[in-house]
Amino acid sequence: MNNLVRVTRDNDVAVITVDNPPVNALSPGVPQAIEAAIDEMNIDPAIKAAVIIGAGRTFIAGADIKEFGKMTSGATPRRTLLPFLLHIEDSVKPVVIAIHGTAFGGGLELAMAGHYRVASPTAQIGQPEVKLGIIPGAAGTQRLPRLVGVAKAVEMCAEGKPVSAPDAAALGLIDSLIDGDLLSGAVAFARGIADKPIPKTRERTTKLGTATDNAAVFAAARDAARKKQRGMKAPLAAIDAVEAATRMPFEEGCQAEQKLFTECLFSDQSKALIHVFFGEREVGKIPDVPKGTPVIAVNRVAVVGSGTMGGGIAMVFANAGIPVLLKDVDQAALDAGMGKIRKNYASSVQRGRFTQQFVDERLQSITPVLTYDLFSDADMVVEAVFEGMALKKSVFAELDRACKPGAILASNTSTLNIDEIAEATSRPEAVIGTHFFSPANVMRLLEIVRGKKSSKEVIATCMQLSKKLGKVGVLVGNCRGFVGNRMFGPYRREAQFLAEEGAEIEAVDRALVDFGNAMGPLATGDLAGLDVGWRIRKEYRHLEKPGIRQPFAEDRLCELGRYGQKTTKGWYRYDENRRANADPEVAALVRKWSAEAGIPQRQISAEEIVDRCIYALVNEGARILEEGFALRAVDIDIIYLNGYGFPAYRGGPMWHADTVGLQKVYQRICEFHQQHGELWAPAPLLQRLAESGKTFAEFDKEHALAA
């Protein structure tokens, strides 16, 4: 035994407790110790059965994900858990698995090698490996269909979504749900089955279905995977592996699974998704705001502005069980805002996302108001009024008067200077940016904008709150556009330039969608409203350097009233179902405007479209990183994955650049610099990293060490 696994006795039952915090992963040492405990039990005449349980908050949440990077880099040899699991399954005395918290990945695979499974009703059970770009690699794809049937196994392995313990019990994955103390229930269960024959999952075949039924299941699953997990390899590999379970004996099926698992493990997609897994956790770590920084209790919130953003933000708080005051200037605006919220909720009920009761309760917790009278109760206010400095300042001056000391005063601005807004109050330490993304109740990203004077307490509260709201909070500095939109500017600029240089509008969008983005850059403009950028550009025109090329097509489209989806015309023409259709009128206009501007027209490849748009993101990201407006390259990645539809399997723009190779990216940017001028000046950090053969990931590591 070792300190990762404890063995105790409850009379005639051995209790094997895995104690490998935080999530009892199957790190090296854990399987060996469990195996030794099973061997010991089998030769001890006083013991009739064993229970395997997890210490702390969870059962085994999977293989140790940190080990995968070591294996693919060659630092440690490739390990397999298959013989270990066979060892459990071949135990001559029964092994009962007791599950609480999560039995994920290798944890579920271990559970299925046990002879019986019992669980707390709140437990979650699943094979989430595809989210890491891999598939179950310890016979999960072989044992699961034998317990739950082929269709459910395909769904669980290819989509990665867990099932609740009660659902798992209904499926036959769990033998008994245990209310109350799990361990005593599991021990009693073990005593009850100790003298019965020992069922082995791998020997079961009754749920493996017929070839005809299975063919339809696999075809439908492949179809769904290609649509819903577009571009991802692991879901298709998972389906192949489950199919192997239906066509081959167990041992051969395991070999097929191993082959697919290994291909996935060594793929760029898996490396990217593992980077994302750790990145999502890393962004919560702020070097100068350590764990344990005091936080403010946020029990009541107020939102100023009931427009699309304000309404969405109110829903976010209401959904998290936090009562909200929603303020607007007149009854008509407030009624319209509440109407939109009701409509959004109604459609969530229709789609089965929420129950009517949940929605009724949420709606009750949103109180529409026309004055600041009740704001003195709020622990936090989020301002979401129209984007304009004068208006924001007057709102913050009002908030300063109306709110209690200690309340957080947050702005949802996407472009304006937080420090300038903070100056309108007598308490700049309470002011911070909370930049939600549209639609606020759907998008996971929350950029938390740190002002010069934002207090650590306020920052720590917002970071913690983001989790409660179901968001990924990323702390960013106060520069124009913050991190996400500052990078989005050059990205969309290039998309427009490409159209102005002769690329077809649909070809620009198609290239980026084929790259994996949720939407093309021009279609995204239509969705957000082209007039938004147009207004901002007009406000900042005085800052543009003379002689530097600016895109013009969108401004001209706006001058013609083509604001995008909201006016049914933008880059595209939209039908009543908001479906985009190519518009020959726009193509002709762009050609005419380009000719007038003397821009030579040429054929442009999909590869150039992708390089121009994506490397524009990377170059700006490198500047942001060097200037310290993002804490780490991975923070930029997480922003792009959760707020801008960047494909997770590419790991985010900075990780993607590392994967391509920074030398190659830098060279291409130098070419663009020569061809297109100053806008493409390579970021000094990118140049340094490329010249020294380093990556953004290494930059992050070096910075973490230095901090």
Annotated catalytic residues are 109, 129
| DSSP-assigned beta bridge partners for residue 51 | 15, 96
Rg, the chain, Cα only: 28
Of 60 and 301, nearer to ligand 3H9 (C-beta) is 60
Nearer CB in complex with ligand 3H9: 81/369: 81
State the minimum distance, in angstroms, from the CB of residue 112 to ligand 3H9: 11
Count of alpha carbons within 13 Å of 525, Cβ hemisphere only? 29
> What residues contact residue 704 under an 8 Å CB cut-off, 6+ apart?
632
HEC states along 91-130? CCCCEEEEECCEEECHHHHHHHHCCEEEECCCCEEECHHH
CA 278 and chain centroid, separation:
11
Count of C-beta atoms within a 10 Å radius of residue 420 = 14
Comparing CA positions, the residue from 90, 93, 94, 16 lying closest to residue 60 is 16
| Matching residue, tokens 């530097």 | 548
User: Which residues neighbour 484 within 8 Å (Cβ) at sequence distance 6 or greater?
Assistant: 435, 437, 445, 447, 639, 640, 643, 644
d(CA 640, CA 20): 33
Decide if 362 contacts 345 (C-beta within 8 A): yes
CA atoms lying within 13 Å on the CB side of residue 628 = 6
> Binding residues for ligand 3H9, per CB under 6 A?
22-23, 25, 58, 61-66, 81, 102, 104-106, 109, 128-129, 132, 136-138, 140, 278, 281
Shortest distance, position 517 Cβ to ligand 3H9, whole Å: 25
User: Looking up tokens 């962004």, which residue turns up?
Assistant: 283
Place of tokens 């919560």: 284
Please report how close the Cβ of residue 414 comes to ligand 3H9 at its closest, in angstroms: 28
Residue 284 or 502: the one with the smaller Cβ distance to ligand 3H9 is 284
Query: Smallest gap, in angstroms, from Cβ of residue 426 to ligand 3H9?
Result: 38
C-beta closer to ligand 3H9: residue 129 or 501? 129
Determine contact, residues 85/50, Cβ cutoff 8 Å. no
Pairing status of strand 366-369 against strand 324-327: parallel
Assess contact for 390 and 413: CB atoms under 8 A.
no
Q: Residue 419 phi/psi, 5° resolution?
A: -65, -40
Q: In terms of CB distance, is 265 or 662 closer to ligand 3H9? A: 265
CB of 125 to ligand 3H9, least distance (A): 11
How many CA atoms does the CB half-sphere of 471 hold within 13 Å?
30
Residues contacting residue 675 through CB under 8 Å, at least 6 positions apart? none
Cβ closest to ligand 3H9, residue 19 vs residue 514 = 19
Read off φ and ψ for residue 433, nearest 5 degrees.
Answer: -95, 135
Residue 243: closest CA among 267, 211, 201:
211
Minimum distance between the CB of residue 658 and ligand 3H9, rounded to whole angstroms?
20
Looking at beta carbons only, is 129 or 620 nearer to ligand 3H9?
129
- What's the distance, CA 93 to chain centroid? 43
Least distance (Å) between residue 104 CB and ligand 3H9: 4
Smallest distance from ligand 3H9 to CB 60, Å: 8
| DSSP notation for 182-202 | HHHHHHHHHHHHTTS----GG
CB 675, min distance to ligand 3H9, A = 43
Q: How far is the CB of 521 from ligand 3H9 (least distance, A)?
A: 32
Q: Which is nearer to ligand 3H9, 136 or 490 (CB)?
A: 136
Q: Which is nearer to ligand 3H9, 100 or 300 (CB)?
A: 100
Long-range contacts of 702-707 (CB under 8 A, 24+ apart): 703/632, 704/632, 707/287
Nearer to ligand 3H9, 58 or 659 (CB): 58
Length of the chain: 707
**What secondary structure letter does DSSP report for 644?**
S
